[in-house]
Structure formats: C-alpha cells, structure tokens
C-alpha cells in the first residue's frame, strides 16, 4: 500500500530531531508544494515547520490561512494552539489569549483542553498576569490529582479574584 501524504508528513516530523533544519524545511515544503497554497493541511504544515524552526513571524499568517481555509480534524485545534503560542512568542498576548479562551469555551473538556490550558497559562504569565496563569495551570492539574482535586481546584479559582 502506498504511503499517503499524511504518512509522509508524519515521517518527516518523526525524523525532525535527527535532521538539519534545512532538510526539515525542504522536505515539508516539498510536501506542501504537492498540495498547493489553497490546501488547509498544507498551510498548517508550512506554518508548523516555520514555527518549529523559530520563524514565528512567517508561521502566523500561514496558521491563519489554514484555519480560514477550513482546516479540520486534529490539525484544527493544533493550529489554534500553535498560532496562539506563536502570537505569545511575538508579544501579541491579547490575540493569543482571545484564541485560547475561545478554543476552551468551544471545546470544553476534550483531549485539547489540557494543551490549550497550558498555553493559556504561559500566555498569561508572559502578559504579566502570573496569578491568573497559576490558577489556569492548577485548575488543569487538579483534574489529574489522585487526591485533593476539589480543594486544589477551589483554591486555584480563588487566585483569580
């Protein structure tokens, strides 16, 4: 059975730490070129590789294009979280906070809640709102505690006041 485009993308990411930055970029860009600029998944992968390489200013518009082009499946929450992280790195905290808060409001409690909460906490801390950051992180952590979950959650929520 032939490898799918997604399989080939996953293979590059699986090998990324052993490859030079130039090789990772060229391999992902070659795969992106197969799909073209209008493809949402291709835009997401183009953004991701630039983000991975520390080129956040190039990544942000590509993430936005992917989301506006109807990105679906697990790549959609990843794109939202990664765009928010990129915006945080670029110092655009309010935009990042809006994205993450909207994501959490829409998705409630799913597999992307903890990653989104982690980046929300990081963004709040970067914005100088450390008490709120601690609250967000502790509320997310409280759900995993074998004991004292309720107490930690209540105390964490009090930090926001």
pLDDT digit string (tens) for 113-154? 999 999 999 999 999 999 999 999 999 999 899 999 999 999
Tokens encoding 136: 């967000």
Question: What is the distance between the alpha carbons of residues 4 and 112, in angstroms, rounded to a whole number?
Answer: 25
Query: Which pair of tokens denotes residue 112?
Result: 């992307």
CATH of 5-96, one of 3.40.366.10, 1.25.40.10, 3.40.50.970, 1.10.150.120: 1.25.40.10
Contact 28, 46 (CB under 8 A): yes
Structure tokens at 83: 């765009």
Q: Give this prediction's pTM.
A: 0.92
The label of the residue with tokens 């982690």 reads 118
CB 40 within 8 A of CB 70: yes
DSSP annotation string for 105-116: HHH-SSTTHHHH
Per-residue pLDDT, 151: 96
* Domain range annotation of the chain: 5-96
Task: Enumerate residue ranges in the chain where pLDDT < 50.
Answer: none
pLDDT for residue 1: 66
pLDDT for residue 109: 76
């Amino acid at each position: 059975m032939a490898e799918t485009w997604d399989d080939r993308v996953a293979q590059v990411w699986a090998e990324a730490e052993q490859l030079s930055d130039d090789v990772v970029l060229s391999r992902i860009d070659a795969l992106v070129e197969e799909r073209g600029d209008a493809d949402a998944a291709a835009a997401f992968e183009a953004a991701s590789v630039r983000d991975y390489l520390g080129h956040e200013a190039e990544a942000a518009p590509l993430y936005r294009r992917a989301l506006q082009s109807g990105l679906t499946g697990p790549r959609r929450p990843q794109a939202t979280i990664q765009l928010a992280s990129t915006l945080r790195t670029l110092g655009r905290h309010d935009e990042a906070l809006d994205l993450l808060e909207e994501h959490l409001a829409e998705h409630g409690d799913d597999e992307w809640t903890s990653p989104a909460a982690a980046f929300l906490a990081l963004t709040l801390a970067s914005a100088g709102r450390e008490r709120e950051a601690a609250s967000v992180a502790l509320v997310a952590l409280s759900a995993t505690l074998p004991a004292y979950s309720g107490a930690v959650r209540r105390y964490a929520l009090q930090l926001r006041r």
